[in-house]
A and B are shown apart, each in its own frame.
Chain A
Amino acid sequence: MKRPVSSLSLGSSLKGKLVRAGFQFTTDLQDLNPEHLSAEAGVSQQEALEALQAASSGHGVAPVTALELLQKEEEFRSIVTFCSQLDEALGGGVPVGKVTEICGAPGVGKTQLCLQLAVDVQVPAVFGGLGGQVLFVDTEGGFQVQRLVDLAGAAVRHCSLLAEDEEQRVAMTTFTVETILSNVFLVRCRDYVELLAELHLLADFLSNRPRLRLLVIDSVAFPFLRLHDDLSQRTRLLQGLGLRLIAAATGHNIAVVTTNHMTTRLHSSQAQLAPALGDVWGHAPSIRLLLRWEESRRLASIVKSPGHMDASVQYQITYQGFRDADQSERPPSKRPRSQTDQSASSRKNTGT
């Protein structure tokens, strides 16, 4: 099957000149040297060389069989959330190599879960973690270092209780609150331009830091909520953003976690809460977790996933972080109310 010249990845004016000169297929461009081509088509030598290179190369990558893909997948661990029910529903935790989205009403615990994951990704490999670094992109200003210190301290205590053999004790010397904090790279983006610019530079950043295993964007909705006067531009930007995140996740084997807000959608004259940014963004994440309130309980549901069943589990947010819900039916006001426990104070504001 002959490949048309207009399908090559060259500039559109160059392609136009080639087609007008009669070179319709790449087979026409074979066996030509650059001088000849530049004379025929009226393009510069540089452009002619570029065109010839594009025509002769570019036969795509080799396929990977599903068996090889399975073997590669089994090598990669997931990031635990420390809520064992949620980890079980997710088949181990938040998977590496995919984009996961956490959506929920304000105050339900999205930033808390992101902070928990930022700590959990650093758990050393001997304890079943990934021992990786994390890039935290904060667009809302919800990142609080003091809370991260609390979560890190709780995780270190948890692991030191689990340390049994020599290897694990050695690993504990490198797993301290200070090292946890030093492995979190924080970027503060104030609007969508800064967010897109940061993601443009992501590829370089990732290649310089091979230990990076998690990218958190909290939240992806906030910078785009202000773009309501040019919705088509917003759609295009979001689609491009989604594609870039997926490429980064699969190409560099990192887990990408984004948070999203909720908005109201009218569905057969009934108002329902739905994740913001619309269906356009809904196609980008592979896995979607919905955090919501049900009376006084907090529930996490998997609403979209290629590999897991839809499930709902209960969780709670304690001083130590994101944890399983207590089995006993204690009312949530019994939770220790320290000033760093933002979730307890914002709990009063949620209505769903």
Chain B
Amino acid sequence: MGNKQTIFTAEQLDAYQDCTFFTRKEILRLFYRYRDLAPQLVPLDYTDKPDVTLPYELIGSMPELKDNPFRQRIAEVFSADGDGNMTLDDFLDMFSVLSEMAPRDLKAYYAFKIYDFNNDDYICKSDLAKTVNKLTRNELTPEEVRLVCEKVIYEADADNDGKLSLEDFQRMIVRAPDFL
């Protein structure tokens, strides 16, 4: 039914449908969005799996991400090389997790990675300080930031090691229904 596209093989589309939360049409629409960022770099034929990576500057200029204070971290977390340069696979992965169909614990897992600026699998005080500054546009004084970080760690840290692990974070998310 409508198998007229020539960008992907049927098996590739099936694989994408199984691995993301998107339907066939949405995957194709996302491909066109990806291509629109750099039409000269992205070929129209993905059947032979070309190795195309778009630099972070193009990804960060998308209207959905442009105003998000965490766009750089989001791109870094989902990119394969950790620098924010994304292939089509990373691109689809990112939007799949950010979509409304992804379950909350999957989003919580990635949110933890986004907030973990130094990639050490723990949210320590410096990570929290960077998060607070991004959320408040650097309007708080360093002293206030320090106090906020201490409060957060005091409240959420269950095993008292001075930083938040993934389990602490997930426990906090379960209690907070406003998390999106």
Note whether A and B form a binding pair: no
Task: Enumerate chain A interface residues (CB-CB to B < 8 A).
Answer: none
Task: Enumerate chain B interface residues (CB-CB to A < 8 A).
Answer: none
